[in-house]
Amino acid sequence: MLGIKRLGLLAALVLVGVAPAAAAQAAAQPSEQDTQYLQAIHQTNLYEIAAGELAQEKGQNQQVKELGQQFVTDHTELDQSVQDLAGQLDVELPGEPTTDQQTALDQLNNASGEEFDRLWVTQGLAGHIQAIQATQTEISQGTEQQVVQLAQTALPVLQAHYDALVALAEELGIPVPETSPSGTPSPGGTAPAPGVTTPTPGTTTEPAPGGTVTEEAPVPGGTEEVPVPQES
């Protein structure tokens, strides 16, 4: 009987030890910010992989082809990390790009020659700006450390892509979106584009019709004020 009682006590102690661990695991679920970032960056990866493959197939400029190949490699590697982490955290990922991203891919499919190159670079610039902004938001506001670390790993990759696109855009004579003094893309520098959107608190973000972007960047602050001469 004593042995049975000891076994019963041991089992009770084991259960007591398991209960807090189970509760801690349940409490460690990713926040809405973390979940949305994983889902959004996954869709960005899907778009960039598909767009990169189109660049290799349809690009007229050799640098467009080479950059497209690099994007496919980098975003495939990044997305594997996203899928692995999402599986660990029980986050369901979308199966395809967003509607706007798919529309943008359709536009690339329908373009050719120089038109394709310019459209691909323009979409890539705007898409990477928004992906960078979303990644910076996750780094500053995310609560699940594994997702934050993923964002910290993704940021230099996205920034390197953006820098390469800027150099190519300048070579092709394509207007480049504004950047902040730190060299990172500045919020609101371009129209919404295929990628990840991060609306500013208190505002709403309206996607451009069809998910397209224009090559013309807005002038900061609108029109410039001309000083009025004072009478002496």
* Cα 207 from Cα 197, distance rounded (Å): 9
Count Cβ atoms below 10 Å from residue 54 Cβ, excluding itself.
18
The residue among 88 and 15 whose pLDDT is bigger is: 88
> How many C-alpha atoms does 6 have within 13 Å on its Cβ side?
3
- Contact assessment for residue 211 and residue 103, using Cβ atoms and an 8 Å cutoff: yes
Indicate the length of the chain as a whole number. Answer: 232
Domains of the chain: 31-197 (1.20.1260.10)
pLDDT beyond 50 at 111 = yes
Supply the DSSP string of 136-182, one letter for each residue.
HHHHHH--SHHHHHHHHHHHHHHHHHHHHHHHHHHHHTPPPPPB-TT
Q: How confident is the model at residue 178 (pLDDT cuts 50, 70, 90)?
A: confident
**pLDDT of res. 185:** 52
User: pLDDT tens for residues 133-168?
Assistant: 999 999 999 999 999 999 999 999 999 999 999 999
User: pLDDT tens for residues 61-104?
Assistant: 999 999 999 999 999 999 999 999 999 999 999 999 999 999 99
